[in-house]
Amino acid sequence: MFLKDYIKEVYGAVKSLVVGMRRTGYYFTHHKEIITEQYPDNRDTLKLADRFKGEVVMPHNENNEHRCTGCTACELACPNGTIKVITRFDITPEGKKKKAIDKLVYHLELCTMCNLCVTACPSDAIKMAQTFEHSVYDRNKLTKILNNPGSKIMEGVE
């Protein structure tokens, strides 16, 4: 009985090893598909996965308008203080005071791409971009201001 199990075990082991070697042997002999990216060479045709998150950006339309109301929900959602919203008060034509953003400061060097700010935003003002070549020689360049200079809030976004 013991001997039977022993032989069965040896047979099973050899068989599983042969199966593994057949698989890798197949890959070795069918050298067509390459799963790695030839990165700096294929920069133009590089296709990233949809879920890839590179940095936070604020999209603007052609009239230099964004959707940010300055509610600071993203700042509160951020776990490590990456986003700082600096607000100001605009005077509307009706003479009312209205909150708007002056600057939305984004510290790329602190960001972990957790996407919590994007989900927290009630007006879809920010989103994740797929850029990833972020290295710079000066650390200050990693602190970015997301809203374009002179931009204002889009009509109809509250």
Partner 1 sequence: MWSLSQIAGSIHEWLSTTFNPTIALVLEMVIAGVAIIGLFAVLGLVLVIMERKVAAWIQIRLGPNRVGPKGLLQSAADTVKLLVKEGMTPDGADKFLFNLAPFIAMIVAMLLMAPIAFAKDFQLWDLNIGILYVSSVSSIMVISILMAGWSSNNKYSLMGAMRSGAQIVSYELSAGLAILTIVVLTGSLQVSEIVQSQANGWWLFKGHIPAIIAFVIFMIAVTAETNRAPFDLAEAESELTAGFHTEYSGMKFALFFLSEYVNVFIVCAIGATLFLGGWMPFHIGNWDAFNHVMDYIPSSVWFFGKTFFLIFLIMWFRWTFPRLRIDQLLNLEWKYLLPISMVNLLLMTALAILGWHF
Q: How far is the CB of 9 from partner 1 (least distance, A)?
A: 8
Which residue reads 């042969």 in tokens? 18
Which is nearer to partner 1, 33 or 62 (by Cβ)? 33
Where on the chain is the footprint of partner 1 (CB under 8 A)?
10, 17, 20-21, 23-25, 27-28, 31, 33-36, 38
Which is nearer to partner 1, 27 or 52 (by Cβ)? 27
Which is nearer to partner 1, 33 or 50 (by Cβ)? 33
Q: How far is the CB of 31 from partner 1 (least distance, A)?
A: 5
Between the alpha carbon of residue 30 and those of residues 24, 26, 38, 158, the distances in Å are 10, 6, 19, 58
Q: How far is the CB of 32 from partner 1 (least distance, A)?
A: 9
Q: How far is the CB of 10 from partner 1 (least distance, A)?
A: 6
Check if the beta carbon of residue 74 is closer than 8 Å to that of residue 117.
yes
Which is nearer to partner 1, 36 or 135 (by Cβ)? 36
Which is nearer to partner 1, 36 or 63 (by Cβ)? 36
Q: Say which DSSP state 142 is in.
A: G
Which residue reads 């990833």 in tokens? 132
Q: Which helix (H) or strand (E) holds 102?
A: strand 97-107
| Helix ranges (DSSP H) in the chain | 2-29, 73-77, 116-120
Q: How far is the CB of 138 from partner 1 (least distance, A)?
A: 30
Which residue reads 């209205």 in tokens? 98
The whole-angstrom separation of Cα 126 and Cα 120 is 10
